[in-house]
Amino acid sequence: MFKNYLKIAFRNFFRNKLNSFINLVGLSLGLAACILITMYVSHEKSYDKFHEDSNKIYTTVGEFKVGDEKIRMKRMSHVVAGQLKENDSNIDEVLRYYKHNQAMRVATILPKSQPISEDNIAAVDANFFTFFSFNLLYGNAESVLNQPFSIVLTKTVSEKYFGSQNPIGKQLSLNQDKAYTFTITGIMEDFPSNSSITSDFLISMKSLSAMEETKELMSTDYFQGGSFTTYLKLKDVKKANEVEATAMRLDRLTNEEADTTFVLEKFTETHDLNADNGRFNYLSVFPIVALLILILALTNYMSLTTARAGTRAKEVGVRKISGAGRKSIALQFYIESAIFVCISFVVGLLISILFKDLFLELLNINVDNSFYFNGLFIMVLTGVFLFAVVTSGIYPALVLSSLNPIKNFKNKLTKHTGSVSVRKVFTIFQFAIAVLLIICGIVMSAQLDFMRNKDTGLIRSNIIMIPVETSMMTNATAFRNEVDKLPEVEQTTLAMNQIYGGYSAYFVSKENSQESYTVSTFNVDEHFIKTLGVTWYLKPKERTAFSENSKVIINKKTIEGLGLKPDPRGEQMNFGNRSFEVAGVVNDFNYTSLENPIKPLAFFVSSETNANENILGVYNSYLYVKLADKVEIPSLLDKLEGTYKEFDETVSFSYQFMDDAFDTLYKAEERLSFVFYVFVVLALIIAGLGLLGLVTFMAEKRMKEIGIRKVLGASISEIVVLLSKDFIRLVLLAIAVATPLGWYLSDSWLSYFAFKINVPWWSFVIAGAIATLLSVLTLSIQGLRAATSNPINSLRSE
């Protein structure tokens, strides 16, 4: 019986080639998109779940409020882990993880190799490999990191330094300010792509107190925030509250007035919590879009299969007369759908493998190949598969099994009013989704365009930002002077921060007031404001507005935000416990993404000399180089790099153009809009294919009518119009349905931006036009074919 169904299914598949092709392509593409998104989303959701006790592992986080801003401390001081373990019996094990935030020069000692600058070095407690489930290839999990100056490398890093030989027992030199010799005690497998911990070098925690650069980290005795991610493994996950209470108690022991709340966050959720995906949760949007695409493809299948009901009706009749019950007919068509979905699924899987790398690159993530065998991924995929099987089969099975044998034979099934209206709904649905996606795509592009081109209150073009690290030390001033001398350079200026890359923040209060506000601050030199083209709202009365004189320059927003006088010049503000006098006010400009509103900002301005002395080379800072117009950029960059190398051997030269830095802020949105366009194209292809199939079928069914009309003198164009009219009406209806929905969705997306466009009216016009054009094209191709056929043939066949 089953074999018989299979046979029928395959023969039908090959008999209606166009129909099958349309179905197969549509469904495979839809499934491929679904598979890729499933992969992306389940990879995101699978972070850190591969550890044996992942559900028992927590990280300790401190939270406190300043003004109305919530500050989250993700790292603790070095004593927190130990004190918690000692004072709370619910804790099974603790682990500290410290990521070194400076680059170190790493080299092999025997033979001596050229040092390579490495910035992914971490120190961990000795129980790292028993606490977590990372695999050691060489070395004993219990003891690899017991001794000071022992180090574990990942496989890739080991190959980088030692090739294919086993490096256990060999030595590496790590050098930041001083060189230290580490002995390699273990090699571990590379970190899985869904691990939030990924360090190329793991050194033993005991090394930290023995190194000058990190000694200070181990000196505090306070239970407070610090530099160590503190992992706790609980005996009973229900006792997390108790541990939180213990943390609060320990905190209050040393600091009675502390108002920090300590919470345990599930380790498996930290990736989500720390993710920097923009403020909009794209992770929740993608599955919905994928589901829409899948449903689109499935409705195609349903609609085309039931449209073919007429041609299958005879078979159903014969089978019923041969003794088939409704159930077995339904089962047959269900099996047919299931087979079809299976084939499409395999094709979709192949397509997804083919496009995996490209897709992941677009999303800027990395997924191990082994993830194909991840439990969660396979589970969700099975779900998608079952969903596809169930939905694709249900409607054809119901419709086809209900056909009455006698009526089928007699009337040749010319009318199926019920399923015709369902198919109309399908068509409307498909085009509505397509139009909806187009609208969203257009709005995204428009918003992106708006953000890139908006006047943000400063001039971004022709400015290169060069990080100057402490490794340059006293050479830094000389470097700056050399750069200044280059003929292509108009001006250099210095800031502690990279613009669009963050800022410092102070808690600020007004004179004679306890209320504190958060104010972003930039430490800059005297040329900064002018070089970046920031304009004055209230110019300083004297030219000097340097922080040495305890003066500060604020932006306009600060006046409103803190409620200063309309002309606050001369007013005092307290930054922490130091008092500054407002010297001048600049107009507001965007110093972060346009997603965020402009907040109160203050400049601490130093004279060039002071900045060179106190900032440059002393702190990690940025040299902003303003170029003259029409400069040969490549040769200038070469010159800058050459100069840089003369003064810094440790850290290699890097730079970023300010306008690039600005554009980078919208990477997430850019990626999203690109992925969206892929979806739009997919949706259009699928909807177009569906329409093509339907109109082909309609033309076949109305062959006789067309023949008669032609004999009676209808022109080709009249026939095309006849065939297309109904469908065009459906498409127009779809546009009407999609427009308000598209407006609503894109408007709610836009609400995540502080600086945004209004949903442009023309996005609806364009989306509608694309859908209409596509359907007219599809319809006329098929309509023409039907209309130009010789009526004699069609009439004879009846």
Partner 1 sequence: MSILLSLNEATRSVNSGNNKVTLLNNINLQVKEGEFISLMGPSGSGKSTLLNCIGMLDNFNGGGYTFLGQPVHSMKEKKRSMLYKEYIGFVFQAYHLIDELTVFENIETPLLYKNVKSSERKALVADMLDRFNIVGKKDLFPEQLSGGQQQLVGIARALIGNPKLILADEPTGNLNSKQSTEIMELFSELNKEGVTIIQATHSEKNASYGSRIINLLDGEIVSE
Between the CA atoms of 147, 153, 154 and 156, what dihedral angle is there, to the nearest 10 degrees? Answer: -170
Interface with partner 1 (CB under 8 A), residue from 197, 247, 250, 324: 324
Q: Is 592 in the site for partner 1 (CB under 8 A)?
A: no
Nearer Cβ to partner 1 (102/328): 328
Interface with partner 1 (CB under 8 A), residue from 8, 291, 478, 741: 8
Nearer Cβ to partner 1 (364/417): 417
Size of the site for partner 1 (CB under 8 A): 21
State the nearest-atom distance from the C-beta of 785 to partner 1, in Å: 24
Nearer Cβ to partner 1 (485/796): 796
Nearer Cβ to partner 1 (311/518): 311
What is the Cα–Cα distance from 49 to 60, expressed in whole angstroms? Answer: 18
What is the Cα–Cα distance from 85 to 82, expressed in whole angstroms? Answer: 5
* Nearest to 244, CA basis, from 229, 227, 265, 228: 265
Candidates 17-25, 62-70, 321-329, 651-659; binding stretch for partner 1 (CB under 8 A): 321-329
State the nearest-atom distance from the C-beta of 318 to partner 1, in Å: 5
* Nearest to 599, CA basis, from 568, 554, 659, 569: 554
Q: Is 325 in the site for partner 1 (CB under 8 A)?
A: yes
Pairing of strands 69-73, 201-204: unpaired
Interface with partner 1 (CB under 8 A), residue from 82, 115, 148, 405: 405
Residues 6+ positions from 588 with CB-CB distance below 8 Å: 457, 555, 556, 557, 598
State the nearest-atom distance from the C-beta of 20 to partner 1, in Å: 13
Nearer Cβ to partner 1 (322/370): 322
- For 146, counting Cβ atoms within 10 Å of its Cβ (0-12 exposed, 13-18 middle, 19+ buried), the class is middle
Q: Can you read off the two tokens belonging to residue 414? A: 């010319």
Q: Is 6 in the site for partner 1 (CB under 8 A)?
A: no
State the nearest-atom distance from the C-beta of 396 to partner 1, in Å: 16
State the nearest-atom distance from the C-beta of 391 to partner 1, in Å: 25
Tokens 């709610």 belong to residue? 748
State the nearest-atom distance from the C-beta of 6 to partner 1, in Å: 12
Q: Is 409 in the site for partner 1 (CB under 8 A)?
A: yes
Q: Is 18 in the site for partner 1 (CB under 8 A)?
A: no
Candidates 141-149, 402-410, 546-554, 785-793; binding stretch for partner 1 (CB under 8 A): 402-410
* Nearest to 623, CA basis, from 656, 590, 645: 656
What is the Cα–Cα distance from 24 to 170, expressed in whole angstroms? Answer: 57
Q: What's the distance, Cα to Cα, between the start and end of the chain in Å?
A: 34
Q: Is 637 in the site for partner 1 (CB under 8 A)?
A: no
Nearer Cβ to partner 1 (409/507): 409
Q: Is 323 in the site for partner 1 (CB under 8 A)?
A: yes
Nearer Cβ to partner 1 (7/578): 7
Q: Can you read off the two tokens belonging to residue 620? A: 């990690």
Candidates 269-277, 333-341, 405-413, 496-504; binding stretch for partner 1 (CB under 8 A): 405-413
Candidates 319-327, 384-392, 608-616, 723-731; binding stretch for partner 1 (CB under 8 A): 319-327
State the nearest-atom distance from the C-beta of 418 to partner 1, in Å: 19
Q: Which phi and psi (to 5°) does residue 706 adopt?
A: -60, -45
Angle between helices 703-711 and 716-750 (to 10 degrees): 130
State the nearest-atom distance from the C-beta of 330 to partner 1, in Å: 14
Residues between 285 and 314 with contacts to partner 1, criterion CB under 8 A:
314
Residues between 488 and 527 with contacts to partner 1, criterion CB under 8 A:
none
State the nearest-atom distance from the C-beta of 414 to partner 1, in Å: 16
Please report, for residues 55, 78, 85, 425, 767, the alpha-carbon distance to residue 90 in angstroms, rounded to integers and kept in the order given: 15, 20, 8, 59, 59
Q: Can you read off the two tokens belonging to residue 346? A: 């395999």
Candidates 199-207, 215-223, 240-248, 401-409; binding stretch for partner 1 (CB under 8 A): 401-409
Residues 6+ positions from 353 with CB-CB distance below 8 Å: none
Interface with partner 1 (CB under 8 A), residue from 322, 414, 453, 797: 322
Q: Which amino acid is at 14?
A: F
Beta strands in 357-469 (DSSP E): 463-468
Q: Which residues of 370-380 are buried (b: 16+ CB within 10 A; e: fewer)?
A: ebbebebbeeb
Nearer Cβ to partner 1 (329/685): 329
Q: Is 7 in the site for partner 1 (CB under 8 A)?
A: yes
Interface with partner 1 (CB under 8 A), residue from 319, 452, 460, 510: 319
Q: What DSSP designation does 548 have? A: G
State the nearest-atom distance from the C-beta of 306 to partner 1, in Å: 18
Residues 6+ positions from 42 with CB-CB distance below 8 Å: 374, 376, 377, 380
State the nearest-atom distance from the C-beta of 314 to partner 1, in Å: 6
What is the Cα–Cα distance from 119 to 96, expressed in whole angstroms? Answer: 19
Interface with partner 1 (CB under 8 A), residue from 118, 315, 663, 700: 315
Nearer Cβ to partner 1 (120/328): 328
State the nearest-atom distance from the C-beta of 321 to partner 1, in Å: 5
Residues 6+ positions from 198 with CB-CB distance below 8 Å: 120, 191
Q: Can you read off the two tokens belonging to residue 755? A: 């600086």
- Supply the DSSP string of 773-788, one letter for each residue: HHHHHHHHHHHHHHHH
Binding site for partner 1 (CB under 8 A): 1, 4, 7-8, 11-12, 15, 314-315, 317-319, 321-325, 328, 405-406, 409
